[in-house]
Amino acid sequence: MGSINTEDMDYTTDLYLKNRWTDDRLSDPGREEPLDLADPNLVKAIWKPEVFFPNAKEGDFQFVTMPNLLIRIHPDGQILYILRLKLKFSCMMELSRYPLDKQACGMMISSFSKTTREMILTWSKTEEAVTVAKDLKMPQFTLEKVVAKQCEDYNHMGNYSCLVAKFFMRRSISFHLIQNYLPSMLMVGISWVSFWMDIESVPGRISLGVITLLSISNQASGTNVPQTSYVKAIDIWMGTCTAFVFAALVEFTFVNYTWRTRGKIVHKPNTPAKCKGYENGEKLIPVEVDNPRLEDNIGKAISSANCWRKFATGIDEVSRILFPLGFAVFNIIYWVYYLIIAQDHEDEMFGEYANSTYILE
């Protein structure tokens, strides 16, 4: 097997197709050794099963450095036909758990013109009917098992014998862990730095929030994922990370607004008077008073402003705990569901799929 294209939902493979049947017309008891024929002209003169690949998109014979085919005729009339092909098969994938998914890609072989009354296809040995190279390594998937089954193709022309091989594969998470999950985690964590910055440090906190939001949005849009009409696991992850970064920016907007409006003292005296100092948080705010009643009102305003400023500071302090805790809870739910709960359901579904009978219509 070669590369698996998730976007186009297909995979390429370089295979050896081995057909074995018996033709009594070619039996020769006087011959002791099998006869090998590699000449394409001689191969054309011998009857061969008319088979094709129903789910193949593209196909080509191998001609390097000569036509890769062989017919071996045994003395008892048994014929072995081997040819090498390069094929691209379609593979309908369910990507709701992408990139934590498992896929089952099939390769079907069916009779083209002979119905089941004339020809029946069978695997030679079900356990070893389909073998793959021992050193097979795919960049995105790990091959778990191969299941070879018989099937039947029903259509208006009649019933045709067919064979199907299913390749059960698990997607490797390493690439997506490095390219998607870890960077998005870091961006969410960086957005929390603003909770420890001074509330009046508006340029720094705004710049940090906007940069992290643009970075996480750019990563979400730049992630190389197939386009589907349903939500995938990576979409839920990137959407939640974007929401956490956006919430951190909104939190600062609310805190800064509260600090500048509710925590601000506005007083315009009508008559000049002496100036007194009142403590507001850590700063002394000079105010002008002209009578004891006005001085008492200003004292209440300063006390109210201090309360609102403490409230704004308290929101930052609570956010330092609430945001990491919420993100940790999301991580626990996300990974437990997709790696344990959904995985068990998918394994059960694939187990039933492997043991079922395949019928093409």
Q: What is the pLDDT of residue 72?
A: 92
Are 238 and 223 in contact, with CB atoms under 8 Å apart?
yes
Q: Give dist(CA 21, CA 47) in Å, integer.
A: 10
Out of 51-60, 129-138, 254-263, least confident range: 254-263
Check residue 272 and give its pLDDT.
Answer: 44
Chain center to CA of 184:
15
Residue 294: what pLDDT?
A: 56
- Cis ω for the linkage preceding 99 (within 30 of 0): yes
Please report where in the chains the tokens 């009917």 appear, as a residue.
129
Number of alpha carbons in the 13 Å side-chain half-sphere of residue 80: 12
Question: Residue 225 to residues 59, 99, 177, 222, 276: CA-CA distances in angstroms?
Answer: 27, 9, 14, 9, 65
d(CA 222, CA 119): 52
Answer whether 55's CB lies under 8 Å from 90's CB: yes
pLDDT digits over 187-243, tens only? 999 999 999 988 888 888 889 989 999 989 888 876 667 788 889 999 999 999 999
DSSP 194-228: GGGS-TT-HHHHHHHHHHHHHHHHHHHHHS-----
**Residue 4's Cα: distance from chain center in Å?**
13
pLDDT tens across 312-357, in order?
Answer: 888 889 999 999 999 999 999 999 999 888 887 776 666 666 565 5
Bridge partners of 284, per DSSP, are 279
**SS3 for 276?**
strand
Model confidence at 268, pLDDT cuts 50, 70, 90, reads: very low
Query: What is the model's pLDDT at position 126?
Result: 56
List the beta strands (DSSP E) in 281-360. Answer: 283-288, 358-360
Of 64-68, 199-203, 356-360, give the lowest mean pLDDT range.
Answer: 356-360
Q: What is the pLDDT of residues 232-251, one digit of tens each?
A: 999 999 999 999 999 999 99
Per-residue pLDDT reduced to its tens digit, 156-168? 778 888 999 999 9
Q: What is the DSSP letter of 17?
A: E
Q: When comparing pLDDT for 275 and 98, which is higher?
A: 98
Angstrom distance (rounded) from CA 176 to CA 223? 9
pTM of the full structure: 0.78
At residue 299, the pLDDT reads: 65
**Residue 102 pLDDT exceeds 70:** yes
What's the pLDDT score for residue 132? 87
The pair of three-digit structure tokens given for residue 216, joined into one six-digit string: 């996480």
